[in-house]
Protein backbone atom coordinates (compact mmCIF):
# COMPACT_ATOMS: atom_id res chain seq x y z
CA UNK A 1 0.00 0.00 0.00
CA UNK A 2 3.11 2.12 0.24
CA UNK A 3 3.24 4.33 -2.81
CA UNK A 4 -0.44 4.02 -3.46
CA UNK A 5 -1.35 5.51 -0.13
CA UNK A 6 1.03 8.36 -0.59
CA UNK A 7 -0.40 9.02 -4.05
CA UNK A 8 -3.91 9.03 -2.73
CA UNK A 9 -3.34 12.04 -0.48
CA UNK A 10 -5.61 14.86 -1.66
CA UNK A 11 -3.68 17.74 -3.15
CA UNK A 12 -3.09 20.81 -1.03
CA UNK A 13 -3.25 18.94 2.28
CA UNK A 14 -0.24 19.15 4.59
CA UNK A 15 1.96 16.05 4.47
CA UNK A 16 1.38 13.84 7.50
CA UNK A 17 2.48 10.44 8.73
CA UNK A 18 -0.64 8.67 7.39
CA UNK A 19 1.13 6.65 4.70
CA UNK A 20 3.52 5.24 7.25
CA UNK A 21 0.64 4.43 9.56
CA UNK A 22 -1.29 2.78 6.72
CA UNK A 23 1.78 0.71 5.90
CA UNK A 24 2.24 -0.29 9.53
CA UNK A 25 -1.43 -1.25 9.92
CA UNK A 26 -1.30 -3.27 6.68
CA UNK A 27 1.79 -5.16 7.83
CA UNK A 28 0.26 -5.86 11.24
CA UNK A 29 -3.00 -7.17 9.75
CA UNK A 30 -1.14 -9.27 7.17
CA UNK A 31 1.25 -10.76 9.71
CA UNK A 32 -1.56 -11.44 12.19
CA UNK A 33 -3.37 -13.35 9.44
CA UNK A 34 -0.20 -15.29 8.62
CA UNK A 35 0.36 -15.99 12.30
CA UNK A 36 -3.17 -17.38 12.58
CA UNK A 37 -2.66 -19.61 9.55
CA UNK A 38 0.72 -20.74 10.87
CA UNK A 39 -0.84 -21.64 14.24
CA UNK A 40 -3.58 -23.71 12.60
CA UNK A 41 -1.06 -25.48 10.36
CA UNK A 42 1.30 -26.06 13.29
CA UNK A 43 -1.36 -27.92 15.27
CA UNK A 44 -2.51 -29.75 12.16
CA UNK A 45 1.09 -30.88 11.51
CA UNK A 46 1.21 -32.30 15.04
CA UNK A 47 -1.55 -34.75 14.12
CA UNK A 48 0.24 -36.09 11.05
CA UNK A 49 1.27 -39.73 11.42
CA UNK A 50 4.86 -40.47 12.37
CA UNK A 51 6.85 -43.25 10.80
CA UNK A 52 8.70 -46.15 12.40
CA UNK A 53 11.34 -45.86 9.67
CA UNK A 54 12.53 -42.35 10.25
CA UNK A 55 13.29 -40.24 13.31
CA UNK A 56 11.40 -37.19 12.02
CA UNK A 57 7.95 -37.75 10.57
CA UNK A 58 5.83 -35.98 7.98
CA UNK A 59 4.98 -33.11 10.31
CA UNK A 60 8.43 -32.25 11.68
CA UNK A 61 9.90 -30.26 8.79
CA UNK A 62 6.73 -28.17 8.27
CA UNK A 63 6.58 -27.53 12.02
CA UNK A 64 10.16 -26.23 12.01
CA UNK A 65 9.37 -23.90 9.13
CA UNK A 66 6.07 -22.79 10.69
CA UNK A 67 7.85 -21.97 13.95
CA UNK A 68 10.35 -19.84 12.02
CA UNK A 69 7.50 -18.09 10.18
CA UNK A 70 5.59 -17.43 13.41
CA UNK A 71 8.72 -15.98 15.02
CA UNK A 72 9.29 -13.68 12.04
CA UNK A 73 5.60 -12.65 12.14
CA UNK A 74 5.88 -11.70 15.81
CA UNK A 75 9.04 -9.66 15.19
CA UNK A 76 7.37 -7.91 12.26
CA UNK A 77 4.21 -7.13 14.28
CA UNK A 78 6.27 -5.76 17.18
CA UNK A 79 8.37 -3.64 14.81
CA UNK A 80 5.36 -2.19 13.01
CA UNK A 81 3.31 -1.71 16.19
CA UNK A 82 6.08 0.52 17.55
CA UNK A 83 5.57 2.80 14.54
CA UNK A 84 1.89 3.32 15.37
CA UNK A 85 2.78 5.43 18.39
CA UNK A 86 4.66 7.97 16.29
CA UNK A 87 2.15 8.33 13.49
CA UNK A 88 -1.12 10.14 13.11
CA UNK A 89 -4.40 8.55 12.09
CA UNK A 90 -5.32 8.03 8.46
CA UNK A 91 -6.90 11.01 6.74
CA UNK A 92 -10.60 10.52 6.19
CA UNK A 93 -11.44 9.20 2.73
CA UNK A 94 -7.91 7.96 2.07
CA UNK A 95 -9.04 4.33 1.80
CA UNK A 96 -11.71 5.38 -0.66
CA UNK A 97 -9.10 7.32 -2.66
CA UNK A 98 -6.79 4.33 -2.65
CA UNK A 99 -9.51 2.00 -3.86
CA UNK A 100 -10.49 4.47 -6.60
CA UNK A 101 -6.89 4.80 -7.72
CA UNK A 102 -6.62 1.01 -8.04
CA UNK A 103 -9.95 0.62 -9.81
CA UNK A 104 -8.45 -0.80 -13.00
CA UNK A 105 -6.29 -3.33 -11.17
CA UNK A 106 -9.31 -4.48 -9.15
CA UNK A 107 -11.42 -4.48 -12.31
CA UNK A 108 -8.94 -6.77 -14.09
CA UNK A 109 -8.72 -8.94 -10.99
CA UNK A 110 -12.52 -9.19 -10.89
CA UNK A 111 -12.65 -10.18 -14.55
CA UNK A 112 -9.86 -12.72 -14.03
CA UNK A 113 -11.79 -14.19 -11.09
CA UNK A 114 -14.94 -14.53 -13.22
CA UNK A 115 -12.78 -16.05 -15.98
CA UNK A 116 -11.33 -18.67 -13.60
CA UNK A 117 -14.87 -19.57 -12.50
CA UNK A 118 -16.21 -19.59 -16.07
CA UNK A 119 -13.52 -21.82 -17.68
CA UNK A 120 -14.70 -25.08 -16.05
CA UNK A 121 -18.36 -24.19 -16.65
CA UNK A 122 -18.37 -22.83 -20.20
CA UNK A 123 -15.09 -24.21 -21.51
CA UNK A 124 -11.91 -22.43 -22.51
CA UNK A 125 -13.22 -20.99 -25.80
CA UNK A 126 -16.42 -19.39 -24.52
CA UNK A 127 -14.86 -18.15 -21.29
CA UNK A 128 -11.77 -16.66 -22.97
CA UNK A 129 -13.62 -14.76 -25.69
CA UNK A 130 -15.61 -12.44 -23.35
CA UNK A 131 -12.71 -12.20 -20.88
CA UNK A 132 -10.17 -10.94 -23.42
CA UNK A 133 -12.74 -8.61 -24.99
CA UNK A 134 -14.04 -7.22 -21.67
CA UNK A 135 -10.51 -6.74 -20.35
CA UNK A 136 -9.49 -4.72 -23.41
CA UNK A 137 -12.61 -2.58 -23.20
CA UNK A 138 -12.03 -1.99 -19.50
CA UNK A 139 -8.44 -0.96 -20.19
CA UNK A 140 -9.34 1.58 -22.83
CA UNK A 141 -10.45 0.02 -26.13
CA UNK A 142 -13.52 2.21 -26.73
CA UNK A 143 -13.34 3.53 -30.31
CA UNK A 144 -14.79 1.37 -33.13
CA UNK A 145 -11.34 0.59 -34.60
CA UNK A 146 -9.97 -0.37 -31.20
CA UNK A 147 -13.00 -2.57 -30.54
CA UNK A 148 -12.58 -4.27 -33.92
CA UNK A 149 -8.94 -5.05 -33.05
CA UNK A 150 -10.04 -6.22 -29.57
CA UNK A 151 -12.58 -8.63 -31.13
CA UNK A 152 -9.91 -10.02 -33.48
CA UNK A 153 -7.49 -10.53 -30.58
CA UNK A 154 -10.22 -12.17 -28.50
CA UNK A 155 -11.03 -14.58 -31.36
CA UNK A 156 -7.38 -15.52 -31.84
CA UNK A 157 -6.82 -16.05 -28.11
CA UNK A 158 -9.99 -18.13 -27.66
CA UNK A 159 -10.88 -20.07 -30.81
CA UNK A 160 -7.36 -19.88 -32.29
CA UNK A 161 -5.50 -21.02 -29.19
CA UNK A 162 -8.06 -23.77 -28.55
CA UNK A 163 -7.65 -25.08 -32.12
CA UNK A 164 -3.85 -24.89 -31.89
CA UNK A 165 -3.77 -26.95 -28.71
CA UNK A 166 -6.36 -29.45 -29.89
CA UNK A 167 -5.06 -30.10 -33.40
CA UNK A 168 -1.31 -29.47 -33.12
CA UNK A 169 -0.41 -30.38 -29.55
CA UNK A 170 -3.31 -32.82 -29.03
CA UNK A 171 -4.05 -31.22 -25.67
CA UNK A 172 -7.72 -30.65 -25.00
CA UNK A 173 -8.35 -27.42 -23.13
CA UNK A 174 -11.44 -27.47 -20.84
CA UNK A 175 -14.62 -28.10 -22.86
CA UNK A 176 -17.05 -26.83 -20.18
CA UNK A 177 -19.32 -28.76 -17.85
CA UNK A 178 -22.45 -26.85 -18.90
CA UNK A 179 -21.92 -27.16 -22.66
- Contact status: 159 vs other proteins (CB under 8 A): no
- Contact status: 22 vs other proteins (CB under 8 A): no
Reported residue count of the chain is 179
Please return the burial class of 76, using the count of CB atoms within 10 Å of its CB with bins 0-12, 13-18 and 19+: middle
How is the chain split among helix, strand and coil, in percent rounded to 5? 70, 0, 30
- Contact status: 77 vs other proteins (CB under 8 A): no
∠ CA 137-143-149, nearest 5°, is: 65
Residues that bind other proteins (CB under 8 A): 1-2, 4, 23, 26-27, 30-31, 34, 38, 41, 44-45, 48-49, 51, 53-59, 61-62, 65-66, 68-69, 72-73, 75-76, 79, 101-105, 108-109, 112-113, 115-116, 119-120, 124, 128, 131-132, 135-136, 139-141, 149-150, 153, 157-158, 161, 165, 169, 171, 173-174
Amino acid sequence: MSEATSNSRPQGREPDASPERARAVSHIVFNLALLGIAAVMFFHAGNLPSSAWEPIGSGSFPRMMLAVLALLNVIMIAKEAAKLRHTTALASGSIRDWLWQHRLAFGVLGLFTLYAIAVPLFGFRWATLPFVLACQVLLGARRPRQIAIAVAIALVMSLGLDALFRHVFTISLPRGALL
